[in-house]
Amino acid sequence: MGEQKSETEGYVGQSVRTIEGRAPVMGKATYTNDINFPGQLHAHILRSPHAAANIQSIDTSGAEKVAGVVRVVTGAQAAEHIDPIPHYIDPAVFGGRSASIRCLALDHVWCFGQPVAVVVAEDKRTARYAASRIVVDYEVTTPVIDSEDALKDDAPMVVPGWDANMIMQVPFGGGDVAQAFSSADRVIKTDVKVHRFSTQPIETRTYNGVYDAGTDSVTLYGTVQNPHPLRNVLSKILRMPENKIRVHAPVIGGAFGMKMHGHPEEGLVCFLSKLIGQPVKWVEDREECLLIGAREQVHSVELAVTKDGTILGLKDHYLANTGAPSSCPGWGMAFLTGLTMPGPYAVTNLDVQLSAVVTNKPGWNASRGYGKEVTALALELSVDNAARELGIDPVDMRMRNFIKKDQFPYDSPTGLIYDSGDYAGVMQKALDAIGYDEWKVKQEKAREEGRYLGIGVGFELTPEGGTLPGTFVAGYDSSTVRVAPDGSVRVLTGVTTPGSGNPTGIAQIVADELGVRLNTIEVVQGDTTTCPYGFGNSSGRSTIVGGGSAAKAAIEVREKIIKVAAALMEVDEESVSMKDGIIASGDKTIDLEEVCYACYTRAYDVGSVIEPPLEATAMFKPGLVRHTPNEKGQINPYPSYSNAAYVAISEVDVNTGEVKLLKFSVAHDCGNVINPILVEGQACGAIMFGIGAAMAENITFDENGRQLTKNFMDYVMPRIGDVPSIDLSHHDSPNPVNYKGLKGAGEAGVGGSAAAIVNSVNNALTPFGVMMTETPLTAPRVWSAIQAAKKAQPQRKVA
Amino acid sequence: MSLYPAFARPRDLGQAADIMGGLSTGAMIIAGGQEVMPSVNYGALMPEVYIDVGQISALKGIAEEDDGIHIGSSTVHRDVQDSEVIQSKIPLLSYAAAQIGGGMQVHNRGTIGGNIVSMHPLYDILPSLLALGAEFDVLRGDGETRVALADLMRDASHGLGSESLLVRIHLKPMTPGAGWSYEKLKITAGGYGSANAAAIVTLDGDKITSLRVVVGAVSALPIDISDALGGCRGQAWSDHLAEEIEEKASAEISEPLSDHQGDGDWRRAMAGVMARRAVEAAVEKAG
Ligand SMILES: Cc1cc2nc3c(=O)[nH]c(=O)nc-3n(C[C@H](O)[C@H](O)[C@H](O)COP(=O)(O)OP(=O)(O)OC[C@H]3O[C@@H](n4cnc5c(N)ncnc54)[C@H](O)[C@@H]3O)c2cc1C
């Protein structure tokens, strides 16, 4: 890795290349599946082909006869040794219904794909083949697929013993909603339906459980975003103390929330390894990866507005189809959607209510945006619809309603405290970047030629760095900075990376705070035995808290080095500076290595001014979070509120319904930027997600609840050819309470960009009167909407 | 189904015929593997015996003979695209081969024979071959027979892939001056087609004298709609004709596919749109 910074400035703020990015690009990174141990065994999981059924009996004898099979385990057998999987976010903690989740189903399955039995064999193919010889006698029952059906009086119960198919119902809001709605000029209702789509990392989930009989301990090598919290979960499942468990996460090939834990396979491989006494690996295939859902929500947004577009009040009682219960933190996404209402808009009269419904679809896991992307979709589609109804420009409507930049910190009606922002400024930057007014002219011209261009905007407020009381969704984190006798630096941190580049950001911070060169720093993450306790990767937190804590530790170590350097040079401490690994006082300089060596080896003379070793551990806990409920019982789980505006230009082929994106711009505010290319990479990635969300990625089921989406032929993710050129600008209003004013940059953008695309398509089709508020806008759907509009208004002469 | 499949690699057609003849069910011919291997990896396919035909030189290459152009079944998409003979004599086919998705790997390994035998509704080669009136040499037992693609598509017992071998494809050069087009509707840059149409048109002045149109990706197999469009002969291109083609093409799709690519109503309508566009582009090129 080359040194790429300019001479005068520090590393922070510079686009340095990632220190860890080279190996994956060269094919040299070691992923979980690259790791094998002597005696390595492989597991294949037999999954339920039914959405709802009672298991009458399981006959494993056929599988056991296959040569190479080591062990076959059913749910009932497993339950003798292991306990249910603790919830990442237990609904019971928040007053909801909580189900007991096992690694393998006991006597009842509640979704397609639920693990029923597992085969361990000498190789993967044998395990898979043998699994096909297990005979399960199912008594199939009627499933509930749809969230509205799930709430009907006569609906079958997804979870035996529950009295309603509901995790919880949560109201958000305040103000005088009735007054707002009665005094409004108009109430405009928009039904926004967001479909089920997920995230699809190229590296699917993989776990390798390795039991060591000598120490009676188990190590899990795995695709894990949050190693320390998972260790606690494993200890409960395996009935072992945490000090007998190690979780190690090697390089991860994309996570996006999907590798947050609660998955049955994590505990299962550890248990199997212990049972058999040999390492057991399980690698998720693509079909299994597609079983993990997210985001399927039905919103009914009502905006009470004045003629000029001022929003007086907002109502939205929405349903989330969270599928069958899961121990993963997915269901919490639905909660966050409501909590983040009304997003960037200064609306105080708010009546939002979540119904988190369970159905017989597979459950959710966290997915980039964590529900906040759905807030953006629901809001932004509704605002566009209202703007159209009122006959005003959608941008004007937003500008009129944005929270003003002098209103921060801002108390939202749901209890959040927005740290800082300049939403109108961000929006304006995105518009200027793309040339909003020029596109309007082009659109007019194109229409005359029978071409349909659309211009759409979207805004997303993305609270980041979240922390929920009583869960492992924690706000703080810790890092250790160690400087060796040779002056090289190791940063061990509790945050992990899903491949987003945060180790480089953290190293840049440490290089500046410590005063060393970037290429002397090594960042170690993802191991419960070597790293300080931490909460891993989620919620755009890694650079905020990993960087913040590493900076504090670096400052402590620097002080020690300076003290000894001063002693060695026989000068005043105050006169000593340290930058880029060079220690100076006046004309005198001394090598960093010489000082570090002295720190370790001369503890009784010059080194006695400090306590060796050159090491410090520090914690960073952002401010602004309020876990003590206010008078309305609300908390603020977030310290920072990144935000961004998106503008999409699209062209619709009205004969086929195809949507082509012509241009995209984004302006975003993630506080100060540590490394522009890292931030831009994340922003572009989120736009790719947004394109997939808006146009193609869709997980579908048949009427019996069997999943139809099985591979990348069915689940169509955007290709690079679908992506237009993206104009990206930064508009930073630093977070006043975070280290370096950081706000988090990894998560934001899925909903804002998807909304901009949907709005652009509707904008293109204004001459037809088309307004689509159900995603995804696939070509067939767009075409049908045009057909329907043509039928409804045959007199309108278009196309 | 077998966990421990056997593997055979015949060196010539005679050996291939012997092996196929000596096996009961469960054999699977493998050429480029671009179809077979994904299914094997996915666990959907576990053949007892693989017969790898990649070493049989008689299956390779493109030749221009007196009776037309021969394409060996093991010829890869890349060679079909780049062949000068095909580019100049059957440009529709080289163009269609270039519209195949999957990137470089699929183009360099996937064969025209494997593509044909898969008879996959969404693939790109059959519509053009049908429009071009392709014939095949098929080896079964120890005898080769010549069969037209149109007939093969009606014959569910052709046994290709296990009991019989597609040896080569015969094509006549396209009429000089004929206009042609292959239109593929893709909903994303990487996706398979959701509807496609191949068209070949000859003109006399501005009047259509002959036209062949096949629509694909909208039903289980491509459909030759040339007869249904017979009334276009003698007409010049017009908006009216365009509408007529679109309507007639859609009407020919009685059992549209309905899958992740799109529902039946849309597929049927897109058959019309693709047919119209293909004919329009072909008319523009003709002359
Ligand atoms: C990612 C991806 C994307 C693709 N996208 C497209 C696309 O957009 N359009 C498209 O048209 N295709 C597409 N394909 C399919 C690809 O073009 C075909 O799968 C390929 O042409 C098959 O050729 P093969 O030699 O690899 O066949 P194989 O996989 O070797 O065999 C395919 C089938 O043909 C049989 N077979 C092969 N050769 C013979 C023979 N000589 N005689 C009898 N039977 C035979 C086999 O038994 C098997 O049933 C894609 C494939 C992939 C993997």
Secondary structure (DSSP) of A603-654 = TTTGGGGS-SSSEEEEEE--SS-B-S--TTS--B--SEEEEEEEEEEEEE-T
The answer on pLDDT for B275 being more than 50 is yes
Q: Which of A44, A133, A290, A716 is the best residue to mutate to test the B interface, defined by the most B CB atoms within 10 Å of its own CB? A: A716
Q: And the tokens for A463?
A: 């609270």
Predicted ipTM beyond 0.85? yes
A542: confidence class by pLDDT, cuts 50, 70, 90: confident
Q: Which CA distances in Å does B2 have to A68, A161, B6, B36? A: 14, 44, 9, 15
Q: Which residue, by CA, sits nearest to atom 33 of ligand 1?
A: B114
Q: And the tokens for A241?
A: 């103390």
| Proportion of chain B above pLDDT 70, given as a percent | 98
Q: And the tokens for A162?
A: 């529950």
**Rounded-to-integer distance, Cα A631 and Cα A341, Å:** 19
The answer on pLDDT for A5 being more than 60 is no
SS3 content of chain B, % helix, strand, coil (to 5): 35, 25, 35
For A656, the closest of B46, B185, B265 (CB atoms) is B185
Index of the ligand 1 atom closest to the CA of residue B38: 53
User: pLDDT, tens digit, for every residue of B258-271?
Assistant: 988 899 999 999 99
Cα-to-centroid distance, B52 and ligand 1 (Å): 13
Index of the ligand 1 atom closest to the CA of residue B124: 11
The CB density around residue A144, as the number of other CB atoms within 10 Å, is 26
Cα-to-centroid distance, A101 and ligand 1 (Å): 43
B36: confidence class by pLDDT, cuts 50, 70, 90: very high
Query: Could you give the 3-state DSSP secondary structure of residue A762?
Result: helix
Residue A645 pLDDT: 97
**Rounded-to-integer distance, Cα A318 and Cα A194, Å:** 11
Cα-to-centroid distance, B124 and ligand 1 (Å): 11
State mean pLDDT over A523-530: 96
Q: How many CA atoms lie within 13 A of B155 on its CB side?
A: 11
Nearest CA-CA partner of A556 in A486, A612, A601, A621: A612
Cα-to-centroid distance, B163 and ligand 1 (Å): 17
The answer on pLDDT for A798 being more than 90 is no
Q: Are A571 and A583 in contact, with CB atoms under 8 Å apart? A: no
Asked, colleague to colleague, whether A23-30+476-620 and A402-471+628-765 share their fold, the answer is: yes
Sheet holding B179-186, edge to edge: B179-186, B193-204, B207-216, B223-224
Q: Is B80 in the pocket of ligand 1 (CB under 6 A)?
A: no
Q: Is B165 in the pocket of ligand 1 (CB under 6 A)?
A: yes
Written as one string, the DSSP assignment of B254-269 is SS---BTTB-HHHHHH
CATH class given for the domain over A402-471+628-765? alpha beta
State mean pLDDT over A674-701: 93
Q: Are A684 and A677 in contact, with CB atoms under 8 Å apart? A: no
Give, for A71, the enclosing helix (H) or strand (E): strand A69-74
Residue B213 pLDDT: 98
Residue A794 pLDDT: 61
Q: Which residue, by CA, sits nearest to atom 3 of ligand 1?
A: B102
- Which stretches of chain B sit within 8 Å of chain A by CB? 1, 3, 42-43, 46, 185, 187-192, 194, 260, 262-263, 265-266, 269-270, 273
Residue A796 pLDDT: 52
Strand partners, A188: A303
**Rounded-to-integer distance, Cα B20 and Cα B130, Å:** 28
Cα-to-centroid distance, B40 and ligand 1 (Å): 13
Pick the residue from chain B with its C-alpha nearest to A783.
B266
Contacts of A287 in chain B (CB under 8 A): 42
Query: Could you give the 3-state DSSP secondary structure of residue A318?
Result: strand
Q: Is B152 in the pocket of ligand 1 (CB under 6 A)?
A: no
Residue B184 pLDDT: 97
Cβ contacts from A onto B, under 8 A: 63
| Proportion of chain B above pLDDT 90, given as a percent | 81
Q: And the tokens for B275?
A: 């047919």
Distance between terminal CA atoms of chain B?
55
User: pLDDT, tens digit, for every residue of B8-29?
Assistant: 999 999 999 988 888 866 789 9
The per-residue pLDDT of chain A, averaged, comes to 94
The answer on pLDDT for A151 being more than 70 is yes
Distance of residue A78 Cα from the nearest chain B Cα, in angstroms: 26
State mean pLDDT over A475-490: 97
Cα-to-centroid distance, B28 and ligand 1 (Å): 13
Residue A738 pLDDT: 84
Distance of residue A779 Cα from the nearest chain B Cα, in angstroms: 7
Residue A799 pLDDT: 42
Contacts of B46 in chain A (CB under 8 A): 129
The answer on pLDDT for A2 being more than 50 is no
User: pLDDT, tens digit, for every residue of B192-220?
Assistant: 899 999 999 999 999 999 999 999 999 99
For A128, the closest of B43, B191, B266 (CB atoms) is B43
Contacts of B269 in chain A (CB under 8 A): 783
The answer on pLDDT for B2 being more than 80 is no
Cα-to-centroid distance, A639 and ligand 1 (Å): 54
User: pLDDT, tens digit, for every residue of B223-261?
Assistant: 999 999 999 999 999 999 999 999 999 999 999 999 888
Residue A672 pLDDT: 87
State mean pLDDT over A462-471: 91
The answer on pLDDT for A669 being more than 70 is yes
Contact B260 A783 (CB under 8 A): no
Architecture of domain A23-30+476-620: 2-Layer Sandwich (3.30)
Contact B187 A716 (CB under 8 A): yes
Residue A1 pLDDT: 37
| Proportion of chain A above pLDDT 70, given as a percent | 98
DSSP A402: B
**Rounded-to-integer distance, Cα B50 and Cα A702, Å:** 35
Phi, psi of A130 (to 5 degrees): -65, -35
Contacts of B278 in chain A (CB under 8 A): none
State mean pLDDT over A705-729: 92
The CB density around residue A232, as the number of other CB atoms within 10 Å, is 16
DSSP A32: G
Q: Is residue A779 less than 8 Å (CB to CB) from chain B?
A: yes
Contact B190 A713 (CB under 8 A): no
Contact A780 B42 (CB under 8 A): no
The per-residue pLDDT of chain B, averaged, comes to 93
Task: Delimit the domains of chain A by residue range.
Answer: 23-30+476-620, 402-471+628-765
Pick the residue from chain A with its C-alpha nearest to B246.
A655
Contacts of B43 in chain A (CB under 8 A): 128
Residue A9 pLDDT: 76
Min mean pLDDT across A79-83, A257-261, A727-731, B159-163 is at B159-163
State mean pLDDT over A123-146: 96
Pick the residue from chain B with its C-alpha nearest to A716.
B191
Strand partners, A489: A483, A521
Contact A126 B3 (CB under 8 A): yes
Q: Which CA distances in Å does B245 have to A450, B164, B223, B231, B271? A: 21, 38, 14, 10, 10
What is the rounded radius of gyration, in angstroms, for the C-alpha atoms of chain B?
19
B1: confidence class by pLDDT, cuts 50, 70, 90: low
Q: Is B10 in the pocket of ligand 1 (CB under 6 A)?
A: no
Contact B269 A783 (CB under 8 A): yes
Q: How many CA atoms lie within 13 A of A738 on its CB side?
A: 34
Distance of residue B266 Cα from the nearest chain A Cα, in angstroms: 6
Cα-to-centroid distance, B200 and ligand 1 (Å): 25
Q: Are A694 and A754 in contact, with CB atoms under 8 Å apart? A: yes
